[in-house]
Amino acid sequence: MSIALKSSVNLDIKSAEKVPKSVLPMICFRDGSLPLPDVSSTSLEVALSNRSLDGIQVLQNMEQCYPVPRNMTMKLTNEQISARVLYFGLFNGVGPTRTQSKMIVRNRAYSFAANISVEGCTTPTMQGQYCNQTIELLSCARSGNSSGNGSVSGFFNQSMVLCRNNFETSCHGDGEMKIYSFEILRITESLTISVQNLRLRPLDSIGNSSRIYLMCFARYGAMPLATLHDYSGDLNQSPLVIRFPKVGQWYVSILALHLAKEIGGALSNVSKVCYSLEVQELECPLGKAGPNCSSERYMLQTVLRKYSTPFESYYLPDGGDVISDAANFHLGPLLSNYSVGGLDTWTYFLLDVPRGAAGGNLHVRLTSDRKMNYEIYARNGGLPSLINWDYYYVNKTSSSGDSVFFVLYNSSDEKVDFYILYVKEGIWNIALRHLNSTGDISDGQTTMSISLERCPKRCSYHGACKSALDASGLTSYSFCACDRNHGGFDCSIEIVSHQGHLWQSIALIASNAAAVLPAFWALRQKAFAEWVVYTVSGISSGLYHACDVGTWCVLSFGVLQFMDFWLSFMAVVSTFIYLTTIDEVFKRAIHTAVAILTALMAITKATRSSNIILVMGIGAFGLLVGWLIEFSTKYRSLSCSMDLCLNRLERWPSREWLQNLVNTVMKRFRWGFVLAGFIALAMAAISWNLESSQSYWIWHRTPTDANYQLTQQDSLSQGA
């Protein structure tokens, strides 16, 4: 797999630590589901300390984000990756304010181009970087129920799947590696890899087979290497036992070492070692799991929610004690019984997260009328245990709180409530470990709820839950669009207090009263067109800001925003045109042209900062055109001969002519200058109020925390 990324980010990776995360463009990787960088800052701090963007490092730290480089190239072979879904997201700044609604977006936007290519070997039995490594597929068959003597682990009531190599024996020399592959189709208790009939070649060789290292490397989903594997062991000493392996494709490599070495002063002539490879998969009967298959296992049924988005559902046991039309079910009848030895008991619940639902959130809740004595372990693809789990909860102080995608809410001794964010697709196993105590297991009423939801906590009732598709169009995901006062991935972080929001709203709406001053003077000068523009501009701006802060919307937000910016543009340009003394016919023509241009500016991208320069430029250009028309009209009747023209040129401009021009300008345009001053004052007041109100949001919350700085999020970050 090759990934090439080019972006317009002009940022040195070494200086990324000095840039606030709220404005730092980030790229995040995750295996099996979508990345979400806003939950925890731990992954960001670790990633920033590791400034290199190495492929192996990325795959081993899938819950991390990295600063976006200007150019990035990454190449991974099939010895380094497995067949799976890999997501990566680009974020223009992370932090609580990324999901906060903003009136005006001002920060930089970045562009990027990515090229991802995946090449595979045409033959499944030939793998490796150059498709020259032979993979031997093991043949598997079910051997029926195992007994205590026939099972490697000695457990009863288990069925066994036995896998062997197609040839009776396999032989390879010193330092030579052979790779085998097999597939686990069902939830398996244990996986045992062993060798039988170990022999040395040639038959008359001098050596001791017990001193030979027959190293075994096992890996889930990808080819194992001596430096990259999940499990390892010397099969010549003991079988390799893997507890609770994941369902899917497994690869095993065998490496023979120390075949030729000095033994008793003589050099052995061992050239090859031969063996028969055997893999045992021990499975529990249907409905059973855990050690000795003594624990209960339930496959939960998926129930889609009515009138909801795709994949939003909850899970219930088949035929269980369901609480009327709710997603809760009682645990009492489902729990495993205590063993005679007084050991802790386990109860397993299996559920399926369908393909395309990786953008959902798995919500797990337990409630009881007394102190609970449960521990919760969750794992994707295999049964969880005390040593194998993806997420766990023991108590309020011991859980997977360090994980980016595990969020704990309002938990106590009587209640457990947590989310697994952007849950991975596939089979999930949730295990309840019921700690042994002197009390009766049936004491207390404990209910459990497992559901797949769109947004955690319904965006804390401070925002709207939005749905979208990823760039491939194959995965549906949800995200929170918070209101003006809150932020964070679940809108639970208060950025602006209620009192701060009230004062900000009052100041923002009341600042539009500045339009009364130019409107009053325009009315006194009987400039009725300008009076209408100033008055309606102030009213529409007040209505727009009232809607923007959530007070009242007389029209839709888009209409009010267009009216506010368009009339503000017209007010500035009208002031410039008023300064001219041309005929009304020309003024109407200029007004019409300017109205069209400013309307286009307001409807396309009204909030861009360059509009200020454009509007001032249009107004100045209109003023210049008006003066040129006035000048050409006043002197177009002058037609003289060359001598007269030269004579006039010698005398023009005279002092009297310049004095008359200054007096005319001061007499005709004095109120225009007053109007221009009021317009400039009003625009400065409104602009200052916007900036100061936004700055107030920062100061009111935390003066020194850069995470609360209000910054721009472009369309990329809002959609990613």
The pLDDT of 114-140, averaged and rounded, is 86
Q: Which residues of 422-436 are buried (b: 16+ CB within 10 A; e: fewer)?
A: bbbbbbbbbbbbbee
Q: Which ranges constitute the DSSP H helices of 464-583?
A: 498-510, 516-524, 528-548, 557-578
Rounded Cα–Cα distance for residues 569 and 540 (Å): 13
Please determine, for residue 44, whether its predicted confidence score (pLDDT) is greater than 60: no
Q: Which of 467, 459, 456 is nearest to 486 (CA)?
A: 459
Q: Which two tokens stand for residue 660?
A: 């008359």
Contacts for 43 with CB less than 8 Å, ≥ 6 apart: 37, 61, 63, 64, 65, 404
The pLDDT of 34-40, averaged and rounded, is 76
Q: What is the pLDDT of residue 163?
A: 92
Tell me, yes or no, if the two domains 127-144+159-260+271-283 and 293-454 fold the same way: yes
Q: Which of 144, 162, 146, 164 is nearest to 154 (CA)?
A: 146
Please determine, for residue 668, whether its predicted confidence score (pLDDT) is greater than 60: no
SS3 209: helix
Average pLDDT of the chain to the nearest whole number: 76
Highest mean pLDDT among 27-36, 322-331, 675-684: 27-36
pTM value is 0.72
The pLDDT of 38-42, averaged and rounded, is 59
Segment 633-654, tens digit of pLDDT: 666 554 444 444 445 444 445 5
Q: Which of 28, 66, 63 is nearest to 48 (CA)?
A: 66
Beta pairing, strands 231-234 & 65-67: unpaired
Q: What is the pLDDT of residue 242?
A: 94
Please determine, for residue 127, whether its predicted confidence score (pLDDT) is greater than 50: yes
Beta bridge partners of 480: 465
The pLDDT of 79-90, averaged and rounded, is 81
Unique residue bearing structure tokens 């062997």: 164
Please determine, for residue 31, whether its predicted confidence score (pLDDT) is greater than 70: yes
Share of the chain above pLDDT 90, in %: 16
Rounded Cα–Cα distance for residues 365 and 415 (Å): 7
Highest mean pLDDT among 217-221, 253-257, 503-507, 538-542: 217-221
The pLDDT of 574-592, averaged and rounded, is 78
DSSP state of 597: H
The pLDDT of 407-413, averaged and rounded, is 86
Share of the chain above pLDDT 70, in %: 75
CATH of domain 127-144+159-260+271-283: 2.60.120.380
Segment 689-720, tens digit of pLDDT: 443 333 223 223 333 333 323 233 333 333 33
Please determine, for residue 664, whether its predicted confidence score (pLDDT) is greater than 80: no
Please determine, for residue 1, whether its predicted confidence score (pLDDT) is greater than 90: no
Please name the CATH architecture into which domain 293-454 falls: Sandwich (2.60)
Q: Where are the domains of the chain?
A: 2-117, 127-144+159-260+271-283, 293-454, 497-630
The pLDDT of 323-344, averaged and rounded, is 70
Q: Which residue has the higher pLDDT, 493 or 264?
A: 493
The pLDDT of 102-129, averaged and rounded, is 82
